[in-house]
Homo-oligomer: A and B are copies of this chain.
Amino acid sequence: MSDKVILLAHGSGGRLGQELVEKLFLHFFDNPALLQLDDSAVLDLPAAQSATYQRRLAISTDSYVVSPLFFPGGDIGKLAICGTVNDLSMSGAQPLWLSAGFIIEEGLPLADLERIVASMAETAAQAGVQIVAGDTKVVDRGSADKLFINTAGVGLVPPGVVIAGDRARPGDLVLINGTIGDHGMTIMTQREGLQFDSPLASDCAPLAGLVARLLAALPAGTLHCLRDPTRGGLATTLNELAARSRVGIEIEEDALPVREAVRGACELLGLDPLYVANEGKAVAIVAPEAAEAALAALQSDSYGREAAVIGRVTEAHPGRVVLHTTLGARRMVDMLVGEQLPRIC
């Protein structure tokens, strides 16, 4: 069906919609729960370990409206899987099941949709999740821009794991699993049509495996916070954590991993990489005695080779983030105010 485009009737609930489901979605998202084609997927949780054991679920959702749909390092489909897998992972959950809702503009080439759905299936397999429920709506030309995807996810939080934004404590260390700003600068330079000597690529990646390594490596209770610095960048995420935990955070500019190409593009466009979106990064705040093991665990994962300790949690200036610059100055790092770039994810 490569020369065809999406028609309004593909979203009707009638025969054409059924064909799209069977030939495209079920082809790529093949699993027994989805194949039932009922109004809901019904799924067995693994048997509980004891009768009184309270199972804890993690639930998360994000809509993806990134433009362009395809970019170096990924596409809207890969992003839609990684983003929700990562949000679940940030609670320490093992991501299990995803739903996917497509809002398609009439006229989208079916070949584009097929490429995106294939990318979702590949990324889901890599992240160990199944896409168990879905929905397709088609809107008339001009009522949406090509394609928006929502994913929601359900994961299972292992017993004893409590990771939340309000658990950072003075003395804790702040780690990140690699370079910042790659996703945002890739999208921006694609849209501006800029070329660089060393090409930029999105860091878009599913972090479920990396978080599992971290949990396995650290003593219980020493991993306090996990958060993925997406929209608003690292600066906004650190501000959220400082505010939630009522602590200060100090970071070292020298310690921040930033690719040369990202640094160059930021200078050209007058942007600060601290505010640029990431899609394959996690900030981890850990008890000081666990920091060495955490760094080693991150660096042992393919998405954490360039992990670094970038700062620490302080009792001073609660709710605020301070950067120690390369030149030895201290400056306050606020949340993002205003919009750096719409449709970055």
Contact = CB atoms under 8 A, between A and B. Distances in A.
Contacts of A36: 164-166
B60 A54 contact: no
A15 B227 CA distance: 17
A55 B48 contact: yes
Interface in A129-155: 132-135, 137-140, 142-145, 148, 150, 152-155
Interface residues of A, number: 96
Given A38-B165, A42-B157, A145-B143, A54 B59 contact: no
Interface string A302-345: 00000000000000000000000000000000011111101100
A73 to B, nearest CB: 20
A45 interface: yes
Interface string A1-26: 00000011101111111100000000
B165 A37 contact: yes
Contacts of A218: none
Interface in A202-246: 226-228, 230-232, 236, 240, 244
A16 B132 contact: no
Interface of A: 7-9, 11-18, 33, 36-65, 67, 86-88, 90-91, 93, 97, 99-103, 106, 132-135, 137-140, 142-145, 148, 150, 152-155, 157, 164-166, 226-228, 230-232, 236, 240, 244, 277, 335-340, 342-343
7 contacts: A40-B60, A40-B88, A40-B93, A43-B58, A63-B101, A63-B135, A143-B145
